[in-house]
């Protein structure tokens, strides 16, 4: 295909309705089994009227009082209302129709705040700083039992309304939700060294090797105290004969220490929204995928499930540039891009084919949009449609806009001030007489402030690469629907 085109257009990325998964491999037996469970689960939810209405579960949220408003309103609803009513979320000052964008963003925001270890209810697991678990210190948080009950309700609402959360929990956490007892293998997700020690004890003869009793040392406020694992445990030596019981009690202590009552409150809130009989079909690994999705992006799956409109196709020069840039991103940067477009940084278990909008699956879409001479614009959501409006951008000719000007656009416009529902990201369309440079050249070159000669073509991939690293400070959250517009290069020539 020739790299030359005659009608440059901006690049517009969004969701498009679609249900087919292109070039999908035959699923593994376990995957087929889980997908059948998932379909049956959602079908039963719908049949039983979960989240279907006609009543409305209205949440009116102030962004600067997100947790407070969410807590007060959600805890004020009855069990029946939480289960049956259809969810509608409105952010104060951003009133409009909820076509799943505000709701999706709400769950993203509230989960990011609520499960943040900073607030003291949860902590990072000992194994990493990626998964979280209930913190023993949460007992000192005011009204902590109600906050954990609220946390359970959030998990339940996200589950029945099919929204992913921006939080990943340990495997024992999901077992607790399902009321499944943990075993030694679950310790590996919490404390790898502790797991290895007990595993060694299980696999080896400990006769005359270990001098242990049915006790464990606990640290509370800097003081080490001895706790018995069973009545009279201080006088019961651990032997080869009773080591199985000792290991089981140690596992129970390590997983439950200081969080039993908090866990009970969270599980109670969860089942105030979700029918325990319906959820019981999943195991812990499956429930984790349903609630949090997966955080590892499969780029080929993403590309295979992307739709093109307005003359674009997979081998189009602009599309090739776009995917060349995304291919060079690391997984975190790809998640930031996905978050920008969809409002969530998690992918459904079924992959990109199952990205969801308000009316079911909506595929990632790239479409020609706007005029080639247009400066970056904001979009305004109006009854399910979008319109162009004035943006906070520098007054410069379209073909001489500098890199510093584009960066100022990001810094001065969060997207939320002007466009509460559909913020966009724009880069300027450019022209140049040369052919397509290699992706490596585009991504590794230094970008000057002036846009002349071959340096023009460096800009697009550099910006695509750099915007994700600046996303936290430049923009707030980016909800669903139509949310990523790039005045990129269809043809720089």
DSSP string, 102-138: HHHHHHHHHHHHHT-GGGSSEEE-TT-SSSEEE-GGG
Q: Give 35's Cβ-side CA count (13 Å radius).
A: 13
Which pLDDT belongs to residue 148? 97
SS3 481: coil
Q: Which residues pair with 385 in a beta bridge?
A: 382
- Residue 88: is it exposed, middle or buried by C-beta count within 10 angstroms (0-12/13-18/19+)? middle
Residue 252: what pLDDT? 92
CA–CA dist 354, 357 (Å, integer):
9
The answer for residues whose C-beta is within 8 angstroms of residue 258's C-beta and 6 or more apart is: 136, 137, 139
pLDDT band at 32 (very low <50, low <70, confident <90, very high): low
Contact in structure between 380 and 386 (CB atoms under 8 Å): yes
Strand ranges (DSSP E) for 135-252? 215-220, 223-228
How many other CB atoms sit within 10 Å of the CB of residue 63?
15
β-strands 356-357, 385-389 pairing: unpaired
Q: Helix, strand, coil % (nearest 5) of the chain? A: 45, 15, 45
- Where is pLDDT greater, at 449 or 182? 182
Q: CB–CB of 99/358 below 8 Å?
A: yes
**Same domain, yes or no: 138 and 121:** yes
Q: Over 70: is that where the pLDDT of 486 sits?
A: no
pLDDT exceeds 70 at position 2 = no
pLDDT score for 281: 92
Rg (CA), the chain: 26
User: Which pair of tokens denotes residue 226?
Assistant: 């001895």
Please, which pLDDT band fits residue 342 given cuts at 50, 70 and 90?
Answer: low
Q: Looking only at Cα atoms, what is the longest distance across the chain?
A: 87
pLDDT for 381 equals 31
Task: Examine the pLDDT at 155 and tell me if it is beyond 90.
Answer: yes
Sorted by sequence, the CB contacts under 8 Å of residue 159 that are 6+ apart come out as 273, 274, 279, 290, 291
Helical (H) or strand (E) element with 66: helix 66-74
pLDDT in tens, 162-211: 888 888 888 899 999 999 999 999 888 788 888 999 999 999 998 888 88
Q: What is the pLDDT of residue 316?
A: 86
* Pair (237, 335) in one structural domain: no
From residue 71, give the alpha-carbon distance in Å to each of 111, 116, 120, 346. Answer: 12, 15, 16, 24
Q: In the structure, what pLDDT confidence band is assigned to residue 450 with cuts at 50, 70 and 90?
A: very low
What pLDDT, in 10s, does the model give residues 114-143?
A: 998 888 999 988 655 568 899 999 999 999
Q: Give pLDDT, residue 34.
A: 81
- The answer to whether residue 401 scores a pLDDT higher than 90 is no
Select the more confidently predicted residue: 216 or 475: 216
> Where does residue 39 rank: exposed (0-12), middle (13-18), buried (19+ CB within 10 A)?
exposed
Distance CA 388, CA 216 (A): 65
Q: Which of 94-98, 223-227, 246-250, 301-305 has the lowest mean pLDDT?
A: 94-98
**CATH number of the domain within which 63 lies:** 3.90.1750.10
Q: At what angle do helices 317-328 and 455-469 cross, to 10 degrees?
A: 50
CATH number of the domain enclosing 205: 3.30.2160.10
Residues 434 and 309 in one domain: yes
Shared domain for 443 and 470, answered yes or no, is: yes
**3-class DSSP state for residue 252?**
helix
The fraction of the chain above a pLDDT of 70, given in percent, is 61
Is 153 part of a structural domain of the chain?
yes
On whether both 175 and 192 belong to a single domain, the answer is no
Say whether both 318 and 356 belong to one domain. yes
- The answer to whether residue 492 is domain-embedded is no
* Phi, psi for 357 (deg, rounded to 5): -115, -160
d(CA 106, CA 104): 5
CATH number at residue 363: 3.30.2410.10
> How sure is the predictor about 371, in pLDDT bands with cuts at 50, 70 and 90?
low
Does 61 share its domain with 195? no
- Between CA 343 and CA 338 the distance in angstroms is 7
Q: Are 413 and 49 in contact (CB under 8 A)?
A: no
For residue range 201-240, list pLDDT tens digits in order.
999 998 888 889 999 988 777 788 888 999 999 999 999 9
Whether 1 maps to a domain, the answer reads: no
Which domain, by its residues, includes 314? 11-20+305-486
- Assess if residue 296 is contained within a domain: no
Separation CA 364–CA 137 (nearest Å): 42
The pLDDT of residue 364: 78
Q: Are residues 251 and 331 in the same domain?
A: no
Average pLDDT over residues 311-333: 82
Domain count across the chain: 3
pLDDT tens by residue, 421-447: 222 333 322 223 333 333 334 333 333
Residues 53 and 123 in one domain: yes
Question: What is the chain's mean pLDDT, rounded?
Answer: 70
Question: What CA–CA distances, in Å, run from 35 to 24, 46, 180, 429?
Answer: 14, 17, 21, 43
Encode pLDDT of 244-287 as tens digits.
Answer: 999 999 999 998 888 999 999 999 999 999 999 999 999 988 89
What does the block give as tokens for 464?
């695509």
205 and 111 inside one domain: no
The vertex-199 CA angle with 198 and 203, nearest 5°, equals 120
311 with 452, same domain?
Answer: yes
Is position 298 within any domain? no
Phi, psi of 150 (to 5 degrees): -60, -40
The answer on pLDDT for 39 being more than 70 is yes
Among 203, 198, 251, CA closest to 229: 251
Residue 231's CB is within 10 A of a number of other CB atoms, namely 9
225 pairs with which residues across the strands? 218
Any domain includes 6: no
Top-confidence residue, 457 or 172: 172
Distances (CA, A) of 424 to 217, 409, 411, 421: 55, 11, 13, 10
For residue 1, what are the CA distances in angstroms to 317, 320, 389?
8, 11, 36
Establish if 404 belongs to a structural domain: yes
Cα–Cα distances (Å) from 7 to 312, 371, 373, in that order, read: 12, 9, 11
Q: Which of 26-30, 255-259, 401-405 has the lowest mean pLDDT?
A: 401-405
Kindly state whether residues 280 and 240 are assigned to the same domain: no
Which H or E run contains 279?
helix 276-279
pLDDT at residue 388 is higher than 50: no
Whether residue 493 is contained in a domain is answered as no
Instruction: Choose between 408 and 100: higher pLDDT.
Output: 100
Q: Which value, to the nearest 10 degrees, does the dihedral of the CA atoms of residues 445, 450, 452, 457 take?
A: 40
Phi-psi region of 35 (alpha: psi -120 to 50; beta: other; left: phi over 0): alpha
């Amino acid at each position: 295909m020739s790299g030359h085109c005659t009608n440059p257009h901006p690049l517009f990325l969004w969701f498009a309705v679609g249900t087919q998964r292109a070039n999908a491999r035959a699923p593994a037996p376990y995957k087929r089994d889980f997908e059948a469970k998932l379909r049956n689960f959602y079908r039963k939810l719908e049949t039983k009227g979960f989240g279907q209405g006609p009543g409305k579960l209205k949440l009116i949220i102030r962004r600067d009082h997100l947790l407070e408003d969410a807590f007060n309103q959600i805890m004020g609803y009855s069990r029946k209302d939480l289960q049956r009513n259809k969810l509608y979320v409105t952010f104060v000052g951003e009133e409009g129709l909820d076509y799943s964008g505000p709701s999706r963003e709400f769950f993203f925001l509230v989960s990011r705040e609520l499960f943040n270890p900073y607030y003291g209810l949860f902590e990072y697991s000992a194994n990493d700083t990626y998964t979280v678990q209930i913190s023993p210190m949460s007992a000192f948080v005011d009204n902590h039992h109600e906050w954990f009950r609220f946390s359970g309700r959030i998990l339940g609402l996200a589950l029945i309304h099919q929204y992913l959360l921006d939080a990943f929990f340990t495997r024992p956490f999901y077992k607790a939700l399902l009321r499944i007892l943990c075993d030694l293998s679950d310790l590996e997700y919490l404390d790898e060294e502790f797991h290895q020690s007990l595993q060694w004890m299980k696999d080896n003869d400990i006769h005359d090797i270990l001098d242990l009793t049915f006790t464990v040392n606990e640290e509370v406020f800097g003081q080490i105290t001895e706790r018995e694992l069973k009545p009279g445990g201080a006088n019961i030596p651990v032997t080869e004969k009773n080591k199985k019981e000792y290991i089981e009690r140690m596992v129970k202590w390590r997983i439950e220490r200081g969080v039993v009552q908090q866990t009970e409150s969270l599980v109670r809130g969860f089942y105030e929204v979700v029918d325990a009989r319906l959820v019981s079909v999943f195991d812990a690994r499956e429930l984790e995928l349903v609630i949090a999705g997966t955080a590892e992006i499969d780029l080929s799956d993403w590309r295979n499930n992307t739709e093109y409109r307005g003359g674009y196709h997979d081998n189009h020069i602009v599309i090739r540039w776009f995917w060349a840039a995304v291919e060079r991103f690391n997984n975190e940067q790809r998640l930031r891009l996905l978050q920008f477009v969809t409002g969530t940084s998690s992918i459904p278990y079924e992959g990109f084919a199952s990205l969801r909008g308000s009316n079911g699956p909506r595929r990632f879409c790239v479409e020609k949009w706007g005029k080639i001479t247009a400066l970056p614009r904001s979009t305004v959501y109006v009854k399910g449609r979008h319109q162009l409006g004035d943006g906070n951008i520098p007054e410069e000719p379209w073909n001489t806009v500098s890199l510093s000007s584009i960066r100022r656009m990001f810094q001065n416009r969060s997207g939320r001030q002007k466009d509460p529902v559909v913020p966009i990201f724009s880069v300027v369309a450019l022209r140049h007489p040369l052919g397509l440079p290699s992706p490596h050249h585009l991504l590794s070159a230094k970008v000057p402030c002036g846009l002349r000669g071959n340096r023009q073509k460096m800009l697009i991939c550099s910006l695509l690469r750099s915007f994700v690293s600046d996303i936290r400070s430049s923009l707030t959250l980016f909800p669903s629907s139509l949310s990523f517009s790039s005045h990129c290069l269809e043809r720089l020539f």
